[in-house]
Amino acid sequence: MKYLLSFLIIFYTGAVYATPENIFLFRHSEKSEGKNPHLTTAGKQRALQLPTLIHQTETVTLYSTNYNRTVESASELAKHFAVEINIYDPRDLVAFKEHILQQQGTVIVIGHSNTSVELAALISELTVSKMLESEFSRYFLLQRRGKNYHLSDLRMNF
């Protein structure tokens, strides 16, 4: 009985503090012009390559804003990891950050030049330089280190 009680305490305590090991923050790939544009040919090619940046993990949770360019950027990741694309509201990043930190495994977020930077800053608690409108190869990887996240500001080689 004593061992069962100890196991239950450890199990439920771990569940309360569940946080993702890795958080990838991508800006959507290259887009066409217009109000709610689709990806360009170059953007589609970049989106096809995104899964190569993420090592297979047991649990992947994928998020995107509800715009053509972000959902299209997320589609290949959804197919590759056999997961659904969860839509999030980019207007409340503080609440979204709290939601992300309740997930497990790997979290992938497809956002925008401004929201990706802001979310990286919120999670890492660091100042992150702005992303230029022309930057599509830049992305962020946040890796859990104890209770904090280490931020890597990275570039795709494609």
In a domain, 89, yes or no: yes
Average pLDDT, integer, range 96-114: 98
Closest alpha carbon to 28 in 66, 72, 84: 72
pLDDT at 9 over 80: no
Query: What band does 5 get if pLDDT is binned at 50, 70 and 90?
Result: very low
pTM: 0.89
In a domain, 1, yes or no: no
CATH number, position 120: 3.40.50.1240
Separation between Cα atoms, residue 151 and residue 123, nearest integer Å: 9
Strands 138-145 and 148-155: antiparallel
**In the Cβ-directed half-sphere of 26, how many Cα atoms lie within 13 Å?**
30
Total domain count, the chain: 1
In a domain, 108, yes or no: yes
For 40, phi then psi, to 5°, come to -80, 175
Separation between Cα atoms, residue 108 and residue 26, nearest integer Å: 8
Identify the pLDDT of residue 18. 77
